[in-house]
Amino acid sequence: MGEGTGNDALLMPYISSCSIACGGHYGTKLSMAKTMTLAKEQGVNVGPHPSYPDLLNFGRKSIHLSMLTLQDALRKQLDSFFSICTDARHIKPHGALYNDLFFDREKAEAVVAVFSEYAKGIRIYCSPNSQLAFVAEQNGFLIGLEAFADRAYNSNGTLVTRAEKNAILTNKQRIAQQVIQLVKAGTVTATSGEKIPIKAQTICLHGDGINVVENTVFLLNSLKQNAIRVKGL
């Protein structure tokens, strides 16, 4: 959220938490404050969404930085966010940084070290079996294991890169099918056709997705029809 899509107010009634861009890939204090106000009005939990410092590519391109440079960039974003927010409930890395933290132990340790400076008890949203999940738990963080409603999966549990044409799910029936399978079977069907186990406690939809509002409403109705309760909604 807070990424300039124009969807924030439309989506807030249908979600329980949102991750707010805090300047790395998008966002200013003004945009953060506006999104926080919308979230508060709807009782939606908020958290910062720090990324690689890469406005040009919206934080969705993996870039090489020294660990110190990356940490400084994250501090700048979190300083900005926490200067106007005192009730954050989670932190979630954005885009390419999130994906890189699946395998990169050194980077996960550097990122978690920065997060520890701001909110030791806060929950970190992360992929199951990722280095970020392991390091966060080792450092005393609660974690929120996350799966994606609108992204395709590789057979190793990682997300299909956005460079691939089948990486993003836009069909509302397909999105609902993936989430229902995740909840009921604890699996997701990878692009290979293999059903892989995914342990998830929270489901992500991207606020800039095609027809995201329509897809979200359809998803919630589909979950209700399948007797699946959505926490907080």
Q: Tens of pLDDT along 58-67?
A: 999 999 999 9
Write out the E strands in 151-204: 187-189, 195-197, 202-204
Within a 13 Å sphere around the CA of 181, how many CA atoms are in the beta-carbon half?
16
* pLDDT 10s digits, 116-155: 999 877 999 999 999 999 999 999 999 999 999 999 999 9
Compute CA distances 11 → 38, 199, 217, whole Å.
10, 25, 9
Which pLDDT score, from 0 to 100, does residue 121 have?
Answer: 78
Domain 8-225: give its CATH code: 3.20.20.370
Cα distance from N-terminal residue to C-terminal residue, the chain:
18
Nearest Cα neighbor of 233 from 11, 7, 16, 10 is: 16
Q: What is the pLDDT of residue 151?
A: 98
| Structural domain spans, the chain | 8-225
Task: Check: CB of residue 49 under 8 Å from CB of residue 8.
Answer: no
Mark the ranges of the chain whose per-residue pLDDT is less than 50: none
d(CA 133, CA 130): 5
Count CA within 13 A, CB hemisphere, residue 233. 18
> What pLDDT score does 232 carry?
64
pLDDT of residue 9: 97
* DSSP 8-state symbol, 229: P
Q: What is the pTM of this model?
A: 0.95
